[in-house]
Amino acid sequence: METNKISFKELEYKYNAEGVDLVDFKKLIEELGPNKVIEVSSWDVYYKRKDSDDRFVRYRKSTEVPELTKKVKTKDSNNWERLEVDLPLDPTRINEEIVTEFVAIDNYEENFRIYKSCFIYFLDDVNFVWYSVYDKNMNEKGRFIEVEVNKDRVNELGSTVSDVLKEYEQKLSVLGINPKNRLKKSLFEIFVK
């Protein structure tokens, strides 16, 4: 198996974090010894295809590395494993007007936007994220936790990748999170109009 090939497979579990304090989450994950920690906030603009209920493009308006993302479900029952392709954009040359016109050519129009404030912890095989989501008026709409296999590790982990994800999910049990708490809907499915 070729291990240095880019993987476009997204493997993650998402949970409602309304009852999980950020301080408790940070303490737990810091005990795991993350390699890197990032705190980042930005707008995500979701463009929905006019002739489809589930086709969308997300524009992440990051000032560092903005990107366009397309995701495709591989199972109708949940979003735990999806195809995900992120297209990094040049922050010196891109803006929302260009993105809006670009996706409109393929029949996409803005459906909603959210502001995400994220605390991301990278370990060798996975990353953990705690984030708050706000609407366009900065009203908080939800808090979430994700555990996701790092894309650069998916191919190397091979057939054990699901076991690795479940192993790290178990570490969240001290916060009251377990497999029964997994959300089956994506942010797009939660907030789409």
Per-residue pLDDT reduced to its tens digit, 163-186: 999 999 999 999 999 999 999 999
Whether 2 is in a domain gets the answer no
Q: What are phi and psi of 60, to 5 degrees?
A: -90, 115
pLDDT tier at 4, thresholds 50, 70, 90:
low
Q: What percent of the chain has pLDDT over 70?
A: 98
Q: What's residue 76's pLDDT?
A: 83
Secondary structure (3-state) at 16: strand
**Dist CA 131 CA 129 (whole Å):** 6
Whether 4 is in a domain gets the answer no
Domain count, the chain: 1
Q: What's residue 17's pLDDT?
A: 96
- What is the model's pTM? 0.92
**Range 115-143 average pLDDT:** 98
**Dist CA 168 CA 171 (whole Å):** 5
What are the tens digits of pLDDT across the range 30-64? 999 999 999 999 999 999 999 988 899 999 999 88
Neighbours of 164 (CB within 10 A): 19
pLDDT tier at 120, thresholds 50, 70, 90:
very high
5: left (phi over 0), alpha (psi -120 to 50) or beta: beta
Whether 1 is in a domain gets the answer no
Distance of CA 119 to the CA centre of its chain: 12
Whether 52 is in a domain gets the answer yes
Q: What are phi and psi of 2, to 5 degrees?
A: -75, 120
Two tokens at 26? 């940070």
Secondary structure (3-state) at 65: coil
Cα 187 to Cα 5, 88, 105: the distances in Å are 28, 20, 24
Question: Domain of 29?
Answer: 9-191
Whether 24 is in a domain gets the answer yes
pLDDT above 50 (res 110): yes
Tokens 């000032």, residue? 63
**Range 157-164 average pLDDT:** 93
Q: What's residue 6's pLDDT?
A: 77
Tokens 């997204």, residue? 10
Task: Specify the CATH number for the domain of residue 120.
Answer: 2.40.320.10
**Range 127-134 average pLDDT:** 98
